Amino acid sequence: MIHVDDVSVKYILGDIKELSLKEFFIRKMRRETITQEFLALNHITFHIRKGELLGIIGSNGSGKSTILKVLSGIMPPSTGSVNIHGSIAPILELSAGFDGEMTVKENIFLRGALLGYSKAFISEQYREIIDFSELSGFEDVAFRKLSSGMKSKLAFSLASFVTPDVLILDEVLSVGDIAFRTKSERRMRELFDSGVTTILVSHTMSQIREMCTKVLWLEGGKMQGIGDTKELCDDYEQYMQMK
Amino acid sequence: MKQYLKRLEQYQYVFSELVKRDFNKRYKRSVLGILWSMLAPLFQLLVMSFVFKRVFGSSMEHYTIYLFSGQLVFNYFKEATNNGMSSIISNAGIITKVTVPKYLFLISKIMAASINFVLTLAIFFLFVAVDKIAFTWKFILILYPTGCLLILTIGAGLILSALYVFFKDIQYLYDIFTLALMYFTPIFYDVHIFDGSLTAKLLYLNPLFLYIDYIRSIVLAGVIPSFTLHLYILFYSLFVLRIGMWIYKKYNYMFLYYI
């Protein structure tokens, strides 16, 4: 139910971010190249069935976050297409969508809205969300005052209370203290057992081995392999050792 | 166009949360809070009124209303476009991590400015009453230039926010542009000083002037502008909106590479 067909993503590099209008025109007239391209993803094709838990592994810069962005619909691929059936809840960065100045309560509603929940839904689940994130008593505290662990707990709590058809997690299961990690893994299993298709990026190999039904290994934007969890994890660890 | 409105409906709740956020942020630790958005233009009005009446000796009747109508429109446009311009960049964190249509941030900034506009408009009518100008049914027509102003602002906002993503120095250029625009719009000086010259005709290229003139025509002269003017104003704003939407659609996908 997730089909990724021949997806490539080209990033535009160069100092374009700091370019002023004047410089832009000067360079254009001189015909100097303004931008360089970087192929972050190189012809990626894979399919995931409903209810699978795909783990994406690879060294830093291999394109893991990029493929997640493409899957979440945030970044359109330069070539190829992505087909996903159902609602998607992406958690790509734990403090994304939260506003530092607003209180925890206000943030729950704002972030919830950004995740696509309705006001009614958030109000109903509000108590549970607060309890799961262990933040009762902190509801009127400004978000920026929370510790990073608390922020992560809140973000995870919020996103796990929806039951999306597809859940996308970017290295977010490795946060919090051991107690919370156990809780979140358990919650993940609940979601997983209820049929939520999940895509998970992680560097914690033990997690990948334990939880994932399938693994995709990316290196330098290219697919190194897709398939059996144990096999690919072993290959990947071998590769990392030789580096 | 229709699909944009449909999506807006879908994202209505997100939108209202964003507007709430912007509003709360603005007045979070200020003592006067929301009163400030009403007091600020008021002070500006009083100062300018004093300067031009006493110091420069303007002898126009109902000068304060004349001035207020100009400032009302101009300040709104300046505020809405300036805030809207940075809307994409300042929400980069959310845009790169959550699937939300980017123009939603622009519209929420414009909405916040529009709420201010409505409040200032209320005070405007107060001043009209105090200045002993009769309220007529024609006042309802003020909704027309207001609607066109909103459309124009959204169009300008789309253009500016897109440009700002690519060229940060657009903000400085726009600063100068608004300054020139302010002087080129007869806000505090009498429009009739241009009578008979080419400049008088050029004024009709300035949409802000058109809206201001409309309001003044209704309130100060009790005259409803011509039908042709109505069409002209509408098409002008729709034209700017169209350009904005075109630019946004064309370069939309590139935003992510620059933020």
* Per-residue pLDDT tens over the stretch B68-107: 999 999 999 999 999 999 898 888 888 887 778 888 899 9
pLDDT for B158 equals: 94
The beta-carbon neighbor of A113 closest among B13, B24, B173 is: B13
What do you get for the CA distance between the two ends of chain A, in Å? 35
pLDDT in tens, B141-167: 899 999 999 999 999 999 999 999 888
What pLDDT band is residue B4 in, cutting at 50, 70 and 90? Answer: low
pLDDT for A6 equals: 86
pLDDT for A33 equals: 64
What pLDDT band is residue A114 in, cutting at 50, 70 and 90? Answer: confident
Q: A123 with A232, same domain?
A: no
Alpha helices, H only, A104-147: 104-114, 119-132
pLDDT for B8 equals: 65
Residue B216 DSSP class: H
Q: A109 with A225, same domain?
A: no
What pLDDT band is residue A16 in, cutting at 50, 70 and 90? Answer: low
**A115 contacts in B (CB within 8 Å)?**
98
Residue A118 has pLDDT above 70, yes or no: yes
Instruction: Report the share of chain A in percent with pLDDT over 90.
Output: 0
Q: A92-106, A125-139, A215-229, B203-217: which range is least confident on average?
A: A92-106
Closest CA to B209 of B193, B191, B225: B191
Q: A7-21, A147-161, B114-128: which range is least confident on average?
A: A7-21
Answer for the pair B255, B165: CB distance below 8 angstroms, yes or no.
Answer: yes
The beta-carbon neighbor of A21 closest among B28, B169, B254 is: B169
* Average pLDDT for chain A: 83
Closest CA to A201 of A184, A180, A218, A225: A218
CA distance B6 to chain A (A): 15
Q: A40-49, A66-75, A91-100, A129-138: which range is least confident on average?
A: A91-100
Main-chain phi, psi angles of A59, to 5 degrees: -70, 170
Closest CA to A114 of A133, A80, A91, A147: A91
The CA radius of gyration of chain A, in Å to the nearest whole number, is 20
CA distance A230 to chain B (A): 30
Instruction: Report the share of chain A in percent with pLDDT over 70.
Output: 93
- Domain total of chain A: 2
Whole-number Å distance between alpha carbons of A115 and A113? 5
pLDDT for A34 equals: 62
Domain housing A113: 97-162
pLDDT in tens, B28-66: 666 666 677 778 778 888 888 888 777 666 677 788 888
Q: A168 with A156, same domain?
A: no
Q: A196 with A182, same domain?
A: yes
Between B40 and B207, the more confident residue is B207
**A96 contacts in B (CB within 8 Å)?**
93-94, 96-98
Average pLDDT over residues A143-159: 83
Count the neighbouring beta carbons within 10 Å of the beta carbon of residue B99: 16
pLDDT in tens, B96-134: 877 788 888 999 899 989 988 998 898 899 888 888 888
Q: A143 with A169, same domain?
A: no
Between A145 and A86, the more confident residue is A145
Alpha helices, H only, A5-102: 21-30, 64-72
The beta-carbon neighbor of B98 closest among A17, A21, A97 is: A97
pLDDT for B6 equals: 67
Between A175 and B24, the more confident residue is B24
Tell if the CB–CB gap between B96 and A114 is shorter than 8 Å: no
- At A238, the amino acid letter reads Q
**A102 contacts in B (CB within 8 Å)?**
21, 24-25
Residue A15 has pLDDT above 70, yes or no: no
Between B214 and A35, the more confident residue is B214
CATH of the domain at A70: 3.40.50.300
Residue A183 has pLDDT above 90, yes or no: no
Chain B residues bordering chain A (beta-carbon distance below 8 Å): 13-14, 17-18, 20-21, 24-25, 28, 93-100, 166-170, 173, 253-254, 256-258
Q: A177 with A235, same domain?
A: yes
CA distance B84 to chain A (A): 18
Q: A132 with A230, same domain?
A: no
Interface test with A, best of B27, B98, B257 (most A CBs within 10 A): B98
The beta-carbon neighbor of B25 closest among A96, A101, A118 is: A101
Tell if the CB–CB gap between A96 and B17 is shorter than 8 Å: no
pLDDT for A10 equals: 84
CA distance B244 to chain A (A): 19
Tell if the CB–CB gap between A96 and B96 is shorter than 8 Å: yes
CA distance B167 to chain A (A): 5
By DSSP bridging, strand A2-13 and strand A36-48 are antiparallel
pLDDT for B235 equals: 94
Residue A175 has pLDDT above 80, yes or no: no
Long-range contacts of B176-184 (CB under 8 A, 24+ apart): B178/B78, B178/B81, B178/B82, B181/B74, B181/B206, B181/B208, B182/B74, B182/B78, B184/B209
pLDDT for B10 equals: 67
pLDDT for B215 equals: 92
Whole-number Å distance between alpha carbons of B109 and B82? 9
Average pLDDT over residues A46-59: 88
pLDDT for B64 equals: 85
CA distance A125 to chain B (A): 17
CA distance B65 to chain A (A): 39
**B20 contacts in A (CB within 8 Å)?**
106, 110
**B170 contacts in A (CB within 8 Å)?**
21
Tell if the CB–CB gap between A109 and B173 is shorter than 8 Å: no
The beta-carbon neighbor of A97 closest among B13, B97, B256 is: B97
Q: Is residue A92 part of a domain?
A: no
* A162, HSE (Cβ side, Cα atoms, 13 Å): 27
Q: A121 with A191, same domain?
A: no
The beta-carbon neighbor of A102 closest among B21, B166, B169 is: B21
**B13 contacts in A (CB within 8 Å)?**
113, 118-119
Average pLDDT over residues B204-214: 91
Q: A23 with A41, same domain?
A: yes
Q: A48 with A67, same domain?
A: yes
Q: A69 with A139, same domain?
A: no
**A88 contacts in B (CB within 8 Å)?**
99
pLDDT for B214 equals: 93
Average pLDDT over residues A173-178: 74
**A17 contacts in B (CB within 8 Å)?**
258
pLDDT for A169 equals: 84
